[in-house]
Amino acid sequence: MPLENDLLLRTIRKEKTERTPVWLMRQAGRILPEYRSVRNSLSGFKELVETPELAAEVTIQPVDILNVDAAIIFSDILVIPEAMGLSYEMVEKKGPWFPETIKTKADLTHLHVAEAEDVSYTIRAIEVTKKELNGRVPIIGFAGAPWTIFAYMVEGSGSKTFSKARALLYTDPVLTHKLLQMITESTVNYLMGQVNAGVNVVQVFDSWAGILSPYQYEEFSLPYISQICDAIQEVPKTVFAKDAYFARASFNKLDCHTVGLDWCMDVQESRELIPDKVLQGNFDPCALYGSEEEIAHNVKTMLKAFGPFHHIANLGHGVYPDTDPEKVKFFVQTVKEMSQNLR
């Protein structure tokens, strides 16, 4: 079925478009009262992720309410560890927590390479979303990058330093690579399942890229992201690696179409380091706490820095939970109007 609004896909194909497409990382959930009310009717986050009809509903909410140019499927990157045999809990006001973690080679015997079927609820949520969206906007599928998933599986929760996960790189590189490879194969199976269910683009989130040294990143993260990009040929791929300013030249060599930038990355310098890719980003999520006037000023600065084409407007990381949805609407509307006028 042809899409009604295919601006995102045309931009990814490097076509000259009438305006810049815009969506927000973590737009599904986090800020909308409409999300909260669905979420509060359930036992918790996981029940929502695992109920396809409701996951589809909260996936579509930002399209209706915020007028973004794409839907990102409501799920979490942590469904992969669970599908491999390591279950997680989402602790209210704290975040993810794994009762068991990976410490030794013996722990790997409890894990398996996941198939898409092991995450059937998200696959089903994509099918329902596809049907209900009826071609209004493209659907973005996603997964965590193997390094970021590894970090949670070893650390067992969020952390400022992820020192347990980073320590394992030194104390047992063999185990490290073995686990990273299992995560990679699981992620490819999962993303292929998402593609077969109808997503139009996939994005890989390497949220904890920035805690590795450039050398470690080359060894423990990039080769696995590269395997994922090579394995998925059916849809365009976006790589977003938070704080990985040192890896930008390497991202240019990946078989991906779009690279996400965080707000600390200079746009001009990034264009030089990543000349072949469409760039996505990089509005500071904190700028949404400013007045409308300030938001408009900062949107203009962003649009001018990226130039009219080969840019997908987005934040430099996920929208923060206490952001006023009205400010987000204003941001989206301003990107749309200004980018058209700047053509």
What residues act catalytically? Answer: 26, 30, 39, 76, 152
Tell me the per-residue interface mask from 313 to 332 with ligand CP3, x by CB under 6 A, - otherwise. Answer: -----x--------------
Looking at the Cβ atoms of 202 and 278, the one nearer to ligand CP3 is 202
Where in 51-110 is the site for ligand CP3 (CB under 6 A)?
72, 74, 76-78, 90, 95-96
User: Is 26 near ligand CP3 (CB under 6 A)?
Assistant: yes
To ligand CP3, the closest distance from the beta carbon of 239 in angstroms equals 13
To ligand CP3, the closest distance from the beta carbon of 282 in angstroms equals 14
User: Is 45 near ligand CP3 (CB under 6 A)?
Assistant: yes
Q: Single out the residue of 5, 136, 158, 159 in contact with ligand CP3 (rule: CB under 6 A).
A: 158
Looking at the Cβ atoms of 146 and 318, the one nearer to ligand CP3 is 318
Stretch that binds ligand CP3, among 28-36, 79-87, 100-108, 274-282 (CB under 6 A): 28-36
Tell me the per-residue interface mask from 124 to 143 with ligand CP3, x by CB under 6 A, - otherwise. Answer: ------------------x-
To ligand CP3, the closest distance from the beta carbon of 35 in angstroms equals 7
| SS3 annotation, the chain | CCCCCCHHHHHHCCCCCCCCCECCCCCCCCCCHHHHHHHHCCCCHHHHHCCHHHHHHHHHHHHHHCCCCCEECCCCCCHHHHHHCCCCEEECCCEEECCCCCCCHHHHCCCCCCCHHHHHHHHHHHHHHHHHHCCCCCEEEEEECHHHHHHHHHHCECCCCCHHHHHHHHHCHHHHHHHHHHHHHHHHHHHHHHHHHCCCEEEEEECCHHHCCHHHHHHHCHHHHHHHHHHCCCCCEEEEECCCHHHHHHHCCCCCCEEECCCCCCHHHHHHHCCCCEEEEEECHHHHHCCHHHHHHHHHHHHHHHCCCCEEEEECCCCCCCCCHHHHHHHHHHHHHHHHHCC
Q: Single out the residue of 150, 162, 205, 217 in contact with ligand CP3 (rule: CB under 6 A).
A: 205
Tell me, by CB under 6 A, how many residues bind ligand CP3. Answer: 21
User: Is 39 near ligand CP3 (CB under 6 A)?
Assistant: yes
List interacting residues with ligand CP3 (CB under 6 A): 25-30, 39, 45, 72, 74, 76-78, 90, 95-96, 142, 158, 205, 207, 318
